[in-house]
Structure 1
Amino acid sequence: MPKVLISDKMSPRAEQIFREQGVEVDVKTGLAPEQLKAVIGDYDGLVIRSATQVTAEILEAAGRLKVVGRAGIGVDNVDIATASKRGVIVMNTPYGNTVTTAEHAIALMMAAARMVPQATASMKAGKWEKTRFEGVELYQKTLGVIGTGNIGSLVIERAHGLKMHVIAYDPYISKARADDLGVELVDLDALFARADFITIHTPLTDATRNLINAANIAKMKDGAIVINAARGGIVNEDDLYEALKSGKLRAAALDVFAKEPVGEHKLLTLDNFICTPHLGASTVEAQVNVAIQVAEQISAFLLRGVVQNAVNIPAVAEADLPVLQPYINLGERLGMVLGQLADSGLKRVAIEYAGEVSGLNTKPITTAVLKGILQNVLPETINMVNAPFLARERGIEVEQSTRELADELRSRVRVQLVMDRGPLEVAGTLVHGHQPRLVSINDMDLEMGLSGRMLYVANVDQPGLIGQLGTFLAAHNINIASFHLGRERPGGRAASFLAVDTPLDPPLLEKLRGLPNVLEARMLTL
C-alpha cells in the first residue's frame, strides 16, 4: 500500500479521500525542515500547500518519494529541477480556485464602485455621512478585461450578468474564442481609453510587470477604476498612488502586492484605495476543492499510474524518454520563441517533423511546443497535461505533419504560428545529439542556441544598422555576449538575436524601436 504524508494544514477531505482510495496517509503539519527530512524517506507521496519548503536537501533524503502534490496553483516552494532530476513528479491543482478568484475580482469591483469599506469604517466611527459616499453603477458601464484565461473568462461571464459591456485585451486568443466569450477584442491602448473599469487576469511576466504604470494610466478615462486580483507587480504601486491622489483614477482595489505582507504602505493612506490581503483563493469551497483534487490526483498516480496536472513530466513511456527528451526540449524552446514574439490573436499552430524525428512519437513534442507558446502568456500554470486542452479551449487549431527527409539536417522541427496579422515561423534542430538550435526564422537562415536572455531585433537590411545597434547598447552600458544575424535578401527584411548581459526595460526597448530601419525589438527569455 502506498504511503502519503500531508505536511500542511488543509481540509480533512484530503485525508478521507486517501483512505477511501486505499492509500495510507499520515498528517504531520508544522514540521521543521530537519523533522521533515528525518521522516520523508518513509513516504511515496507528499501533499503540501505553501508552508512546506520542498528543498533539494529534502528531496535528496526522500528515497521512496514518487510525487509531490500542491493543493493550489503555485509551486514556488518546490525545487522542481531537483525533483525532476530525481524522478519525482510535481503536481498542482490549477482549477480549484478559479471561481473564487473571479468572484473576488467582482467583489472588489463592486466594493470600489460603491465605497463599501470606507462607508463601513465611517459608520463604525459613529458617523452618518450619507452624501460623502456617492458611488457609481456597473450597469451599462464598459469593463476592460486584460487576460481571458480561466479566471478572466469567468469574470467576463459574470460581468455579462451585470449587464456590462465587456471589451478584452488578450493577444493569444482567436477571434472565434472571443466571439464565444461574447467580448470585443481590442488593443491595449483602446482598452485603456474606453474602459470605465479595468480588471487584470494575467501572469506576472517581463511583458506584464508594471503594465499599469504612469504612461498607461494617462491613457485611461478620468475616473476609471482599476482592480487587480492576479499578481503583485503588474500594477506599479507608486504610479497608482499618484493617480489616485490626483483624482485621475476614481478608485482602485488590489488583492495582491509587489511585496507581501505589505506592512506600512502609502496606498493605505488614501480614501479611494481598498485592498485585501491576497484573499483571491480564500473561501471554504476553494480550500475543500484543492484538497479533494490533490488527493484524487496523487491516488490516481500512485495506484494506477495516471498523471494529471504534472508540471515537470511529459506524458511518455519511461523507456522512450531518453530519446524524446531532447526533442521535447527543442519543441518547448521553439514555442517559447513564438509565444514571446506573437502579438495578435492565435489561430493555428502547424508543426512539421522532418528526418529522424519524424519516426518518433511526436505527440509529446507537439505538446511541448504548445506549452512553450502558452506558458508566458496565460495566468494558468501551463504543463504537458493541460497545454493541448487550453489551446483547444482558446480556439487554436493544431496541425502536425511529417517528412522523411530534412534537407541537410538529420532532423528538423518547423513550427508555424498563424495569427490574425499573419504567420510567424521558426525551425530548429539538435546538435551533438541533444543541444537545441534555432536554424531559421521566417525563412531567414541563422544558427543560435536556444537558451538565455536574447534581444530580438527585426529590421530592414541596410548598411550601418549593426553599428547603430552596437552603439545604442554600448551607450546604455549593455554588453553583447553573442550576435546572430539572418536576412531574406539584400535590402529586404533581416532578423538579429543578441545575447545580452542585462535585459532592456520597456522604455529602452521603445527607444530602440525608434532607430532608423528598426521594425521590431523585444526581449526574449529562453
Structure 2
Amino acid sequence: MKIVVDDKIPYLEGVLERYFSEVVYYSGRDISSNIVADADALLIRTRTKCNEKLLAGSNVKMIATATIGHDHIDKEYCKEHGILWTNAPGCNAFGVVQYVLCFLSLISLKGYGSLQGKTLGIVGVGEVGKRLAAVAPYLGLNVLKNDPPRARKEGEDGFVSLDELVVKSDIISVHVPLNRDGEDRTFGLFNEGLFGLFQQPKVFINASRGEVVHEPSLKEAIKAGKMRHVALDVWCNEPEIDKELMELVDIATPHIAGYSLEGKANGTAASVNSILHFFGLGGGDKWYPSSLPSLENKITFGSSKNVEDEVLSCILKTYNIESDNDNLRRNPDDFESLRGNYGVRREFSYYKVVNVKDERAAACLNGLTFKVE
C-alpha cells in the first residue's frame, strides 16, 4: 500500500514505513493528482485541497488531516466516492488558547490595563472556544459566548446573539470554522455591518480562518478608530497576505496559533491512529510520539505586589508572541517557510511555577493548567 504525506507533519520519521510498502513525502501545496493517483491514503494539513481535481480517478480510500480544520476537504465528493476522511478535533485547541492569552497578557502589561472585569466575547465555542471560556475567568474576565449551532442544539441559555456579543464585549476572539454557505455561514462574518456596531474601540483577535473576516472592512474599522488592539493569525489568500493590513494590526503571525508542540504531537497521533485503524494495522495500539523536544520548564514567580501582572508575566514566559510577529513583519513573503520551520513551543501545562506565595495567584495559575509550587 502507498501513503502520501505532507512533509511538514512532525514526529513521523520511520513510523508509517512499518505499515506501508511505499511512503512518499511532499510539500502540502505540491501534492497533485499525479502523486495521489495510485495512493491508498493521504496524511495532510490544510494546504492540500482534497477535491475532485486532486482525487478524481485515484485509488485513495482514506484522508487524514492532522488539523482541527477541515474546510480544505470536499466532504460531498468524498462521500459520493466512498472516501473516508478524518480530522483531529481539539488537537491544538490549548495552543490557540495560549496564543490568545499571551496576546491579552502582552497588551495588558503594555498599557491596555487590567483584564479584571473586562468582557471577553468568544465567537465559536467548539474545542478552542470551550477551553478559552473555561480558563478566561481565572484572569478576571467575564465571558459571553456565541455559537448558533450549539444554541439550537442545547438551548439559548448560556449563549448570546452575535450582535449582542459585539456590543457588550471589550475583547472579541473568533474561533469559528469556515462555512462558505448555509444557515451557519461564517464566510465574511465580520464585515462592515458588524464592525459598525462597535460603540467603543475593542480588542479583536482572529485565530480561526482568514476568510471569516472581510479584510477591507477590517482595515477601514482600524483606520476609523474602532479597534484598540488587533491580533491576526489567519489571513485571506494565505500565504499571499495583505501587507497593508499587516502594518495596521498589533500582532501579525503566520497561522501558527495552534502550533504548540503538544498540539502538533496530538494532531499527528490522531491522524496516524485513524489511518492504522482504518486499514486494520498496528494491532489496535494507540501510537504517540515516543520522545518530544524539551525546554527549561521552571518559571520563578516574581515578588512585586501586583499579583495580576506577575501572573501575566508567567503566561508570557511560555511563549514569545512578539518574536513570531517580528519574524513575519521582517519576512512576509516567507509565510509558508515560517510555518513549516516553526520552533518548539510548549503549553502552560508543561511549566512549573515556583515561589508562588499568594493563594490567589496559585489558584489562578492552577486554573490555567500550570504546575505550581
TM-score, reference length from structure 2: 0.63
Q: Which of 203, 213, 223 matches 2:191?
A: 213
Asked whether 1:46 is paired with 2:42, we answer yes
| Amino acid corresponding to residue 205 of structure 2 in structure 1 | I
Alignment check: 8 A CA contact 1:147 1:202 kept? yes
Post-superposition offset of 1:268: 2.7
- Offset from partner CA, 1:222-279 (integer Å, 9 cap, x none): 1311111112122232222233223232111111122212445322333x53221111
- 1:242-281 aligned at under 5 Å gives the runs 242-270=220-248, 273-281=250-258
Give deviations 1:382-401, integer Å, cap 9, x for gaps.
xxxxxxxxxxxxxxxxxxxx
Native 8 Å contact 1:14 1:295 kept in 2: no
Distance 1:83 1:147, change over 3 A: closer
Q: Which residue of 1 aligns with 2:82?
A: 87
Q: Is the 8 A contact 1:6 1:25 kept in 2?
A: no
SS of 2:256's equivalent?
coil
RMSD of equivalent CA atoms: 3.5
Q: Equivalent residue for 1:16?
A: 15
**Alpha-carbon deviation of 1:48?**
2.5
**2:276 corresponds to 1:299:** yes
Amino acid at match of 2:172: I
SS of the residue 2:220 aligns to:
helix
- Partners of 2:153 and 2:63 lie apart in 1 by 38
Tell me which residue corresponds to 1:28: 24
State the match for 2:142 in structure 1: 165
Deviation digits for residues 117-153 of structure 1 (CA, Å, limit 9, x no counterpart): xxxxxxxxxxxxxxxx523221221111122111111
Confirm or deny: 8 A CA contact 1:175 1:185 kept in the other structure.
Answer: no
- CA spacing shift, 1:258–1:264, aligned 2, 3 Å: closer
Distance 1:58 1:234, change over 3 A: closer
User: Residues of 2 paired with 1:11 and 1:274: CA distance?
Assistant: 26
Pick the structure with more helix per residue: 2
Please say which structure displays the higher CA radius of gyration.
Answer: 1
Distance across 1 between alignment mates of 2:45 and 2:252: 24
2:185 is the alignment partner of 1:186: no
Alpha-carbon separation, structure 2, partners of 1:244 and 1:27: 47
- Unmatched segments (≥5 aa) in structure 1: 115-132, 307-526
Q: Distance in 1 between matches of 2:153 and 2:85?
A: 34
Query: 2-side partners of 1:68 and 1:178: how far apart?
Result: 34
- Do residues 72 (structure 1) and 67 (structure 2) align? yes
Shift in CA distance, 177/158, structure 1 to aligned 2, threshold 3 Å: farther
- Residue 230 of structure 1 is aligned with which of 201, 208, 211? 208
**Over residues 370-411 of structure 1, what are the superposed CA-to-partner deviations in whole Å (9 max), with x where a residue is unaligned?**
xxxxxxxxxxxxxxxxxxxxxxxxxxxxxxxxxxxxxxxxxx
Q: Is contact 2:16-2:23 (8 Å) kept?
A: no
Identity among equivalent pairs (%): 28
1:499-514 matches, cutoff 5 A: none
Structure 2: runs of 5 or more not aligned: 284-373
Greater strand share, structure number: 1
CA distance in 2 between partners of 1:29 and 1:193 (Å): 48
Residue 200 of structure 2 aligns to a residue whose secondary structure is coil
The whole-number CA distance in structure 2 between the counterparts of 1:202 and 1:52 is 20
Number of aligned residue pairs = 276
Q: 2: distance between equivalents of 1:66 and 1:246?
A: 51
Q: Distance in 1 between matches of 2:119 and 2:271?
A: 38
Change (3 A) 1:140 1:53: closer
- Residues in 2 aligned to 1:293 and 1:29: alpha-carbon distance in whole angstroms: 19
- The one-letter code matched in structure 1 to 2:131 is L
Q: Which of 152, 159, 165 does residue 129 from structure 2 map onto?
A: 152
**CA displacement, residues 147-190 of structure 1 (integer Å, 9 cap, x when unaligned):** 211111111112112121111222333599689xxx95333332
For 2:42 and 2:242, the matched residues in 1 are separated by: 36
Instruction: Sort the Cα spacing of 1:77 and 1:250 in 2 relative to 1 into closer, same or farther, 3 A.
Output: closer
How far apart in 2 are the matches of 1:301 and 1:59?
Answer: 19
Match of 1:199 in 2: 173
* Cα distance in 2 for residues equivalent to 1:269 and 1:99: 27
Instruction: Give me the whole-angstrom Cα distance separating, in 2, the residues matched to 1:211 and 1:101.
Output: 20
Distance 1:174 1:91, change over 3 A: closer
In 2, are the aligned partners of 1:101 and 1:151 still within 8 Å (CA)? Answer: yes
| 3-state SS in 2 of match to 1:143 | strand
1:108 is matched with 103
TM-superposed deviation, 1:50: 4.0
Higher relative contact order (CA 8 A, sep 6+): 2
